Amino acid sequence: MGYRKNGIDSFSVFGVSLPGSGDVTSTSVMANLYYDITPKALWSPFLGAGLGLARVEVDDAAVMGIVIGDDDDTVFAWQLMAGIGCKLTEETTLDLSYRYFATSDPDFSGVKAEYGSHNVMVGIRVSF
């Protein structure tokens, strides 16, 4: 499960950028696959991909000070990951990774939007 929160600073309409405000949040449930390139080594680069669903919510959205409102949509989501892991024990790996997360275009009351985010993450993986 993942959670992301982003601020809105502009809207693009017909190629024209307009000042905006508000927040966009997404809550996602993903199924991920990872491939460790050198799993037995102390340092192991890895690649990954995931598919799932995300609920994307817009809160207090405004364009040029004109309040648009709040809305949400549940859409298909996907992500790509790459990183490097350092084996701490046979079962535990510390990793540093980059993740690109995106969704199909959410529809907010008839207005199509785009949602994607770039993330740098630090994590611990436990193998069974």
> Which CATH number is associated with domain 2-126?
2.40.160.20
Strand, helix or coil for residue 106: coil
Q: What is the pTM of this model?
A: 0.84
Domain boundary assignment for the chain: 2-126
pLDDT tens digit at each of 128 positions of the chain: 899 999 988 888 888 888 989 999 999 999 999 999 998 899 999 999 999 999 999 998 888 888 888 999 999 999 999 999 999 998 999 999 999 999 999 998 887 888 999 999 999 989 88
Q: How far is CA 82 from CA 3, 7, 79, 110, 116, in A?
A: 19, 25, 10, 35, 17
Question: What is the per-residue pLDDT for 67?
Answer: 84
| Element spanning 105, H or E | none
Task: Give the list of residues 6+ apart from residue 65 with CB closer than 8 angstroms, or none.
Answer: none
